[in-house]
A and B are shown apart, each in its own frame.
Chain A
């Protein structure tokens, strides 16, 4: 049975360090299993947040060998026994203890999103949507709120001062799902530009790279939002809208 050296961050904001633990890993084990084994056998006070162990709750986000990952979806076969495997808390958020961080920043940002404003119902009092109308936004509904995209986004990860202005990739896919909703009438262009500061995103696609659900965050949400923002200063689009008599309501 292979034995790994797990180099796990221990401590809080006042004092923290990486400590090594030698752990045996059976075939098929994931990083979270090994962390649990450390907790059970060597460090009962090790703080780690987890829930479903199936890649669906988004609780066990961490940085394994420097890459933001879900611990429950990261198999130990990926790593070599010859080198320590580092496990660190996600670094963009305030540390509570060991591997647990305070991710409330993301929920506070989510509260600022202008909600759905439904168009009037059909004459028979119902709302109808066709499958092709909602295929696009269903991708965004796969988000499990693990916040790995928020963690890896250098705009806030490396520049704390941007946290006040910048909403982050998770918020942008939520905004995109509302903005592209076939029954919505609200125009969130100004919200995207001014409140969520999409201009700070330089589309380097790290959010997409780390998403465990495979959501094309940059291509399907952030760039379309940037393009919708660009619509507002494109005279060709303005003319076409005038020609078609299209109007939208501001947020």
Chain B
């Protein structure tokens, strides 16, 4: 392109923005919620205790892969890892990188934290705080383009969490349904909603096709995922809440603070 209209002067308005609404409220709320979740999930992951009470396994520890797990997911566990100062590495730390990467590179969460933490932009038509800006063109942010790999991993987690939810019917005295069972199923449904409404999922399952009439299955898939995708932000927040609350519920039951109500 030639330089026309690029070098000419813009309106001489000094103010960073002219908005009068409470544009700062949403990014502030996002900072509050995301920070709270990160603090709680990190604390819970480091606890290495109270993550299992039969038949419920916390989603922060699923799949539980370490030999020392209170509830082994795959039968035979991996040997314990120890690191200096910290000691034995919690089984949660072996697996939480998967869902964490999925959320970190998620198109919706990128919008949320670029606005709230990066302040680029903090709100629409409000001036960026930093002077320079290179977007996602350089390391490390260029790696955001690998979101689909994180989605592949997230799908595997949905399989494990569904298996845990099925096991949540298997009480020591046989089949049953407790409040925890419902909590775990709600969590899986919301997480599946979040995972399968993902933009990368939408593209991989059909969005890459140009001639839908020649790929009816992929068109149907794309169509269904597109409807889900419209609610991707809703699933993102609800599933974030559900995964934390499911852990909290199981933790409190395990600690004996509350009692799991048996419904059946």
Q: Interface 1/0s, chain A 1-22, versus B by CB < 8 A? A: 0000000010101111000000
A159 with B133: CB separation less than 8 A: yes
A162 with B133: CB separation less than 8 A: yes
B137 with A67: CB separation less than 8 A: no
Grouping DSSP codes into helix (H, G, I), strand (E, B) and loop, the B interface class, with mixed when no group exceeds half, is loop
Q: Given B19, B142, B210, which contacts A66 in the complex, CB threshold below 8 Å?
A: B19
Cα A179 to Cα B207 with chains together (Å) = 11
Q: Does B246 contact A (CB under 8 A)?
A: no
Chain A residues near B8: list those with CB within 8 A.
13, 94, 102
> Closest CB of chain B to A139's CB: distance in Å?
11
Cα A132 to Cα B226 with chains together (Å) = 14
Cα A9 to Cα B18 with chains together (Å) = 12
Q: Does B12 contact A (CB under 8 A)?
A: yes
Cα A181 to Cα B208 with chains together (Å) = 11
Q: Does B4 contact A (CB under 8 A)?
A: yes
Cα A251 to Cα B108 with chains together (Å) = 30
Q: Does A95 contact B (CB under 8 A)?
A: yes
Chain A residues near B1: list those with CB within 8 A.
108-109, 111-112, 164
Q: Which of A84-101 contact B (CB under 8 A)?
A: 86, 88-89, 91-95, 101
The count of residues in chain B whose C-beta lies closer than 8 Å to any C-beta of chain A is: 55
Q: Does B22 contact A (CB under 8 A)?
A: no
Chain B residues near A89: list those with CB within 8 A.
11
Q: Given A102, A181, A202, which contacts B136 in the complex, CB threshold below 8 Å?
A: A202
Chain B residues near A210: list those with CB within 8 A.
124
A92 with B10: CB separation less than 8 A: yes
Q: Does B199 contact A (CB under 8 A)?
A: yes
Residue of B8, B132, B135 with most partner-chain A CB within 10 A: B135
A15 with B12: CB separation less than 8 A: yes
B121 with A9: CB separation less than 8 A: no
Q: Does A227 contact B (CB under 8 A)?
A: yes
B11 with A133: CB separation less than 8 A: no
Chain B interface (Cβ < 8 Å from any Cβ of A): 1-6, 8-13, 17-21, 107, 110-111, 114-115, 118, 120-121, 124-128, 132-137, 141-142, 145-148, 199-200, 203-204, 207-208, 210-213, 219, 229-230
Chain A interface (Cβ < 8 Å from any Cβ of B): 9, 11, 13-16, 63, 65-68, 83, 86, 88-89, 91-95, 101-105, 108-109, 111-112, 129-130, 132-133, 136, 152, 154-155, 157-160, 162-164, 179-182, 184, 197, 199-206, 209-210, 218-219, 223-224, 226-231, 233-234, 237
